[in-house]
Structure formats: C-alpha cells, structure tokens
C-alpha cells in the first residue's frame, strides 16, 4: 500500500508542473487575445456597402426632325426626317464598396464595370473613390473622386434610378477628384459643405485634367420635416481665370405616400446673362403600395445667351456645354416601378416620354428647326447585396 502511495505521489509530482505550465500558457494566450483586441480599437473595420447592381432595358425611339421656312408662309414645311430605333441594351453595371474604419474614417467606391464611351483617363469609369475623416458629429473632410457639390434632386439621384432626364443632366461631367470640408449642425437638419475640385470643363474641347481648370462649390442640404433642400452656388472655370456660375435650388416635399421635387439651375458666364440659360425640372412620385410606385416627370431648359468665347484656335465654342446655344428643350413622361415583396432588390420599370429640342425663331437664319423624340422603355434593375448573404463574414 505504501508503494502505491509512493507511485501516485511521484506521478503527481511529474504531472502538476506540466499542468501549471499548461495553465500558465492558457492565461498568456487569453491575455494576448485581450491585448490584441485593445490595440488600436479605433481601427476596427466593418463594411457598410458591398453590392453589385445592373440595369437592362428594351427601348423604342421614334425621332422626327423638321425644319420650316419662316420667310415664305406659302411653304411652311421644307423638310422632315423620321427614324425608328429600338433594341435591348445594358445601361449600368456597377460595383459598390464602402466601409468604416473605427469611429472616424470611412471610404466609398462606385465603379462602372461598363465603360463610358469616349473617356480615356484612368478614373473615368470610377464615379466615387474617396476617403473621409470625421472629426466629430459636426466636422468632416473628404479627399478623392466625388460628385461635384451641385444642388438639385435630379442631379443627386443615382444614375441607375434616372430613366429620362434634362439635357443638362445628360451632358454634365459631374465626377471629379477634389477635396471638401463639411459641417453639420447639432440638430442634424443642416449640412454645409465647401469643395474644390477639377472643373467639369476639363472634359470638353481640348481641355484635360491637367489644364488647370478648377471648380469652387458651396453647398447646403436642409431637412425640415417633410421639406428638404439641396442648394448650391458654384463657380467653374471654362478657361483659366474665366468662370461660369451655377445657382442650383433643389426643393422637395416628401411624405409616406408621395413626394415631389422642383429643381431650378441657373447658369451664367456674365451678370447680364442671368435668367437666359437655365434648367427647370420636376418629378412627382405616388407610392400606391410598398411594391408599386407611379411617377410623372417633366422639365424645360433654354440657352439664349448668344455668348461665345475663344478656346485655342476655335472662336465659336459655347460657354455652356450643358445646353446648346440658342436652343430650347422640353420633355415630359409617365412611368411605373414595381418591386416584388419577396425580393425588393429586383425592380421592374416602364415609362413613356416625349422630348423636343428646338431653336429660338430666327436664330438659324430663314428656318425654324425642331427635333422630337418619343420613347417607350421597359426594363429591369437588379441589386445583389452581399451584406445580406454574408453578414457574419462582413462584420
């Protein structure tokens, strides 16, 4: 019996040190894990946006161009052409990625996988690629490629959600590299931002990103119950030291079942040219149900400034590249959107719209000119949100 106790005692003497070592190692590992968690807690990362989106349409266009003699009333119509165009097309295919690093740093990327024709710079198909530092709830700074801070709700909407639009919206090169600082008041109702970025005119004529053209943009977003504002005052160089001024006033009323916005954008390169070059657009949405939305949209634009400037060897280039000189443009249409309740990331749409571009009487010599386009469109938009499928992996 004494031998048995002796053997057990020797076994415990051998085992206990190893057990103590093992326990000590376990404590060290737990301590390291804790220390690892406590190192740079402000740099913990989480995704806020991670998805693909695409839109495909079938569209039918009926184009009619007319020009008529204004000096001979006996021969009012001197020419007319008609075209019927239709087919399937893919409008957008985008990759979106955004995230937060701690409490202060965030980033966002939107990359168009389908390239924009005619553009050649490295980031031309990148809409957003910026990093933002938030000092506190009031102040933040942003650096990278961003939308120019121009007011208006048509302009503010993601392009994939804009079916038919103003001539200004279709021509404006809005995504540029720059820097901005923003202030949000303590109530959260007002955001004021100031931005310095490349001018959109680096995309027109013989200009390029290195031509030294900048834009200076002051922006206010307000939220007062159902009333929302997106206002801006913008100074954009079209030549070094020469600016075109934008005043954009976006106003929206938004309720549970319906919303309406009215945007007015005035453009002028000279004080005497105010109210001669502008865009006016409005959209009304009626949410019939969580799945069905009916909308109506229309607008009017004109550029009657008759103002030209010299660029390189070409003395006849319009100051406003967004709207042809001595032209008026108006459009209107009706549409419907449907999102299945079982899968709201799928959206079906259909709309009919009419648009007309015409000259001011007499500006083209002895003729009036008019181009009308009637468009019928049906399509589908699909969003694949990885945040819904991989929630644990993305935390």
DSSP labels, 306-325: --EEEETTEEEEES-TTS-T
Question: What's the domain count of the chain?
Answer: 1
Cβ-count burial of 39 within 10 angstroms (0-12 exposed, 13-18 middle, 19+ buried)? exposed
At 325-368, the pLDDT tens digits run: 889 999 999 999 999 999 999 999 999 999 999 987 666 656 68
pLDDT for the residue 313: 56
Bridge partners (DSSP) of residue 394 are none
At residue 289, does pLDDT exceed 80? yes
pLDDT for the residue 176: 93
pLDDT for the residue 96: 96
At 237-286, the pLDDT tens digits run: 988 888 999 999 999 999 999 999 999 999 988 766 778 899 999 999 99
Helices and strands, counts by H and E, the chain: 5, 18
- The lowest-confidence range among 20-34, 60-74, 376-390 is 20-34
- Mean per-residue pLDDT, 173-178: 93
Average pLDDT, the chain: 85
Q: What is the pTM of this model?
A: 0.84
In a domain, 2, yes or no: no
In a domain, 41, yes or no: no
- Mean per-residue pLDDT, 160-178: 94
Checking 70-78 for CB contacts under 8 A at 24+ apart, the result is 70/361, 70/362, 70/366, 70/367, 70/368, 71/366, 78/367
pLDDT for the residue 18: 46
pLDDT for the residue 242: 86
- Mean per-residue pLDDT, 314-327: 75
pLDDT for the residue 390: 75
In a domain, 262, yes or no: yes
pLDDT for the residue 21: 47
In a domain, 115, yes or no: yes
At residue 379, does pLDDT exceed 70? yes
- Mean per-residue pLDDT, 203-222: 86
pLDDT for the residue 143: 97
At 2-50, the pLDDT tens digits run: 554 554 555 455 545 545 445 555 655 665 555 555 556 566 888 899 9
Percent of the chain with pLDDT over 70: 77
In a domain, 16, yes or no: no
In a domain, 15, yes or no: no
Q: Is 114 helix (H, G, I), strand (E, B) or coil?
A: coil
- The lowest-confidence range among 195-199, 217-221, 311-315, 331-335 is 311-315
Integer CA distances (angstroms), 32 to 38, 161, 207, in order: 10, 49, 57
In a domain, 28, yes or no: no
Q: Is 140 helix (H, G, I), strand (E, B) or coil?
A: strand
Q: Please give the residue that has the higher pLDDT: either 293 or 70.
A: 293
At residue 303, does pLDDT exceed 70? yes
In a domain, 40, yes or no: no
pLDDT for the residue 269: 81
The DSSP H or E segment spanning 88 is: strand 79-101
Looking up residue 359, the CATH number of its domain turns out to be 2.40.160.10
Query: pLDDT band at residue 204, thresholds of 50, 70 and 90?
Result: confident
pLDDT for the residue 207: 73
CB 311 within 8 A of CB 336: no
pLDDT for the residue 275: 81
- Mean per-residue pLDDT, 73-99: 83
Q: Is 108 helix (H, G, I), strand (E, B) or coil?
A: strand
pLDDT for the residue 7: 47
- Give the domain extent around 289: 51-394
């Amino acid at each position: 019996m004494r031998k048995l106790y002796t053997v057990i005692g020797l076994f415990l003497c051998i085992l206990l040190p190893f057990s103590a070592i093992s326990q000590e190692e376990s404590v060290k590992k737990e301590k390291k894990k804790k220390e690892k968690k406590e190192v740079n807690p402000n740099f913990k990362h989480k995704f806020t946006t991670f998805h693909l989106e695409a839109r495909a349409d079938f569209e039918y266009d009926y184009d009619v161009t007319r020009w008529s003699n204004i000096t001979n009333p006996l021969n009012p119509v001197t020419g007319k052409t008609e075209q019927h165009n239709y087919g399937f097309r893919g409008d957008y295919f985008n990759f979106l990625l955004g995230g937060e690093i701690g409490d202060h740093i965030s980033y966002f990327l939107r990359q168009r996988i389908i390239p924009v024709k005619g553009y050649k710079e490295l980031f031309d198909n990148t809409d957003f690629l910026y990093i933002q530092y938030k000092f506190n709830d009031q102040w933040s700074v942003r650096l990278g490629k961003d939308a120019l801070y121009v007011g208006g709700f048509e302009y503010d909407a993601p392009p994939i959600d804009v079916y038919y639009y103003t001539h200004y919206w279709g021509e404006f090169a809005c995504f540029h590299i720059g820097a901005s600082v923003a202030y949000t008041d303590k109530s959260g109702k007002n955001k004021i931002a100031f931005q310095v970025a490349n001018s959109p005119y680096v995309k027109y004529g013989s200009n390029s990103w290195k031509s030294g053209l900048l834009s200076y943009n002051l922006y206010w977003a307000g939220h007062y119950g159902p009333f929302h504002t997106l206002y801006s005052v913008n100074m954009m160089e079209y030549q070094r030291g020469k600016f075109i001024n934008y005043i954009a006033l976006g106003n929206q009323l938004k309720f549970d079942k319906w919303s309406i916005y009215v945007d007015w954008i005035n453009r002028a390169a000279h004080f005497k040219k105010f109210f001669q070059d502008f865009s006016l657009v409005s959209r009304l949405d009626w949410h019939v149900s969580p799945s069905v939305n009916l909308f109506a949209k229309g607008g009017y634009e004109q550029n009657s400034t008759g103002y030209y400037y010299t660029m390189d060897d070409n003395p006849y280039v319009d100051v406003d590249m967004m709207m042809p000189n001595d032209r008026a443009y108006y459009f209107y249409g009706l549409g419907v959107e449907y999102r299945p309740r079982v899968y709201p990331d799928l959206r079906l749409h259909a709309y009919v719209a009419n648009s007309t571009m015409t000259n001011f009487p007499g500006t083209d010599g002895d003729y009036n000119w008019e181009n009308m386009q009637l468009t019928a469109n049906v399509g589908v938009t699909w969003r694949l949100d990885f945040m819904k499928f991989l929630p644990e992996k993305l935390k």
